[in-house]
């Protein structure tokens, strides 16, 4: 979590510097676009992949053996996988000692 925040701050500083560069020399716009994509990618990753969700429903979902502690909540999380779509879900474990 801390590394992700550091990378986001560094990317935001890079974007700021790139925008200043564009104001001084419009020929540096590709750098600003790259910096914007970097900031957008980091922000998207935080929203899309960082959230713990409820257990998925449906016959195609299977719980995997992957387990980890969520940095944000400190709770144990299990990973669920849908083989048809390749989608993964991160689900807070209700009774982690039961397994």
pLDDT digits (tens, 9 = 90+) for 13-37: 999 999 999 999 999 999 999 999 9
pLDDT, residue 33, reads 96
- Describe the strand order of the beta sheet including 61-69 as a list of residue ranges: 61-69, 76-82, 88-92
Q: Residue 55 gets which letter from DSSP?
A: P
pTM over 0.75: no
| Calpha distance 24→57 (Å, rounded) | 54
| Calpha distance 17→36 (Å, rounded) | 11
Whether the per-residue pLDDT at 97 is higher than 80: the answer is no
Give one DSSP letter per residue of 57-93, joined into a string: -STTEEEEEEEEE-TTT--EEEEEEETTT--EEEEE-
Q: How far apart are the first and last CA of the chain?
A: 27
DSSP-assigned beta bridge partners for residue 82 = 61
- Measured in residues, the chain has a length of 99
């Amino acid at each position: 979590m801390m590394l992700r925040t550091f990378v986001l701050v560094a990317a935001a500083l890079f974007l700021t510097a790139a925008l200043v560069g564009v104001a001084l020399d419009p020929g540096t716009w590709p750098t600003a676009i790259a910096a914007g994509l970097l900031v957008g990618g980091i922000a998207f990753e935080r929203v899309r992949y960082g959230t713990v969700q409820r257990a998925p429903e449906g016959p195609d979902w299977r719980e995997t053996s992957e387990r980890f502690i969520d940095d944000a909540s400190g709770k144990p999380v299990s990973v669920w996988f849908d083989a048809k779509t390749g989608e993964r879900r991160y689900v807070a474990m209700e009774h982690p000692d039961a397994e």
